[in-house]
Amino acid sequence: MSQSDSNSLNNGVHIQPLAPEHFHQQAKAALADPQLRQNFRGAMDYLKDKRKLAFSDVAEEKHIRNLSEAIRQRCLSKLPDLLEQLESNCINNGIQVHWAEDAIQANQIIADIAQRHNAKEIIKGKSMVSEEIELNHEMAKLGINCLESDMGEYIVQLDGDKPSHIIMPAIHKNKQEVSDTFAAHLDNFTPTIDVDELIQTGRSRLRQKFQDADIGLSGVNFAVAETGTLCLVENEGNGRMCTTVPDVHIAITGIEKVVEFLTDVPPLYSALTRSATGQAITTYFNMITSPRREGELDGPQEVHLVLLDNGRTQAFQDEEMRKTLQCIRCGACMNHCPVYTRIGGHAYGTVYPGPIGKIISPHMMGLEKTKDLVTASSLCGACGEVCPVKIPIPEMLQRLRNEAKNPATAAHPEIKGQASAASKTEMLAMKSFAYAATHPAIYHLGSWSATKVRGLIPSKLGAWTQCRSAPKPASKTLHQLLKASHKKDQS
């Protein structure tokens, strides 16, 4: 089965394909779907509560976040060196390392490996980077079938759908909808809303597939430079199956996932699991340091590591936006985002939805396509407050808004889609605002006029009044009142 180009919001509104350029339309459709909104609100509430419990000690939370931030910043500060060290240690361990500048190169690398082994079946553990390069779709074109083995990804794939959350891909579905999906696609399935039964169904259908697959593909949570070790965090055990049963294992990851020392892993792992699912530790934690060694009874004969750039270098080159790459993909920012909670993950039209998606996607796809995403935030800061590596997401959004509206300056290199949201009308309005706000006499004449025409304020003020009454200025401004009282003048 391959992923289809056709995706749907849960209410059956088909927009083909979902894309960030159609964000407004997609968000509107999602907002109009009460079931979808209920699914997300319920799931996000659950995840927020889990995180809160996992961080019930505020001092400990602060410590873990500070530590994780410091580790990520240190590793990013020496990223080029660490990548070289990782490559060299992986090679010494027998892991073959490949570099991909973009999705096309990454797919080509994987296709070459597959074709060398005459592979027809790839079984996949969870990997958002594989979504980023649309691996399933590209492999299908070559007659290679990719099967998702993460339960959420499996459900989503059955529907020809895409993940709506980076940790919980099928979170947009409730148990009834999962049962409906199984009923539509699986033979001999008796509909049920018993969650354990649903999971057992998925697991039993997948079991044999691990044996049949030619290649296992996985993501990477942390790639350790000093030892050449690939770390994989998971709960279902499918990740371990993918990386041990087939003869070939391909791991794919973004270049930012490298950490310097093995000792960097435990704090980041703890920050990740607590933030993502509220767990102190996951059920499985895999550390892969080589293919099967002489005398070992299991494990793949070949291990490949594909390191993908795909726009990350652009973020890396800018000191402020480099913080975007601190991300350890826990999903806490989306769980706490009031926008994500209401529109869900598909509406963004990007592989990475929610707050982190808004700040990483512009580097991958350019601001021209993603300019509506960077404005789709009230800058409430709920994301930054919970980020385990303390990415100042609202500041990144602020910065990207500025880049979308203005040409590059000497201070920063031009970024993809620079000034693509520039508007002469809006620029004129902002220049006028700045002129008035820096010329008090003109500014106060303006506010005085507003109080004079307050009775004439139209009751319809575009988008504002679609759910609100028009605001009415007071009959006198504070400036006027204080002037009249003659007591506070000091100018």
Partner 1 sequence: MRIYPAKPSKVYFYATCLVDMFDPQAGLDAITLLEQQGIEVIFVEKQTCCGQPAYSSGYDKQAKQVAQSQIDLFPENWPVVVLSGSCGGMMHHHYRRLFKGDSNQAMVDTFCDRVFELTEFLVNVCRASLIDQGDKSVVVMHTSCAARREMNVHLTATQLLEQLDNVEIREQAYESECCGFGGTFAVRHPDISQSMVEDKTQHLCATEATELVSADWGCLLNINGALEYQNKALRGVHLASFLLARTGGQ
Task: Write out the residues near partner 1 by the rule CB under 8 A.
Answer: 24, 27-28, 31, 37, 338-339, 342-343, 375-382, 384-385, 395, 398, 400-406, 411, 421, 426-427, 430-431, 433-434, 436-438, 440, 443-444, 447, 450-451, 462-474, 476-483, 488-491
Q: How far is the CB of 40 from partner 1 (least distance, A)?
A: 12
Nearer to partner 1, 348 or 352 (CB): 348
Contacts of 4 (CB under 8 A, 6+ apart): 160
CB of 416 to partner 1, least distance (A): 16
Shortest separation between residue 220's beta carbon and partner 1, angstroms: 32
Run of H or E residues at 304: strand 302-308
Two tokens, residue 300: 């793949």
Structure tokens at 431: 């220049």
Identity of the residue, 25 or 192, whose beta carbon is nearer to partner 1 in the bound complex: 25
Phi, psi (degrees; rounded to nearest 5) at 339: -75, -50
Minimum CB separation from partner 1 for residue 79, in Å?
23
Q: Smallest distance from the beta carbon of 472 to partner 1, in angstroms? A: 8
> How many other C-beta atoms are found inside a 10 Å radius of the C-beta of residue 188?
5
- Tell me whether residue 36 or residue 135 sits nearer to partner 1 (CB atom): 36
DSSP assignment letter at 293: P
| Cα 184 from Cα 306, distance rounded (Å) | 35
Q: Least Å distance between CB 389 and partner 1?
A: 17
Closer Cβ to partner 1, 88 or 423, answer by number: 423
Residue placing its CB nearer to partner 1 in the complex, 175 or 472: 472
DSSP letter string over 384-453? HHH-TT---HHHHHHHHHHHHHS---TTS---TTTTTT--HHHHHHHHHHHHHHT-HHHHHHHHHHHHHT
**Minimal distance, residue 36 CB to partner 1, in Å:** 12
Cross-strand partners of 98: 306
Q: Which is nearer to partner 1, 300 or 392 (CB)?
A: 392
CA distances from 73 to 30, 69, 391 (A): 36, 6, 10
Which lies closer to partner 1 via its Cβ, residue 205 or residue 479? 479
Measured from the CB of residue 432, what is the shortest distance to partner 1 in angstroms? 9
Cα 331 to Cα 355: distance, rounded to the nearest angstrom: 9
Residue whose CB is less far from partner 1, 31 or 111: 31
In the DSSP assignment, the letter for residue 305 is E
Positive or negative, the CA dihedral 16, 18, 19, 25 is positive
| Closer to partner 1 by Cβ: residue 56 or 490 | 490
| Closer CB to partner 1, 200 or 465, in the complex | 465
Measured between alpha carbons, how far is residue 168 from residues 40, 48, 306, 342 in Å?
11, 14, 24, 16
Distance of closest approach, residue 383 Cβ to partner 1, in angstroms: 10
Q: Least distance from C-beta 73 to partner 1, angstroms?
A: 17
Handedness of CA 461, 463, 467, 473 (dihedral sign): negative
DSSP state, 263? G
Rounded distance, CA 67 to CA 59, Å?
12
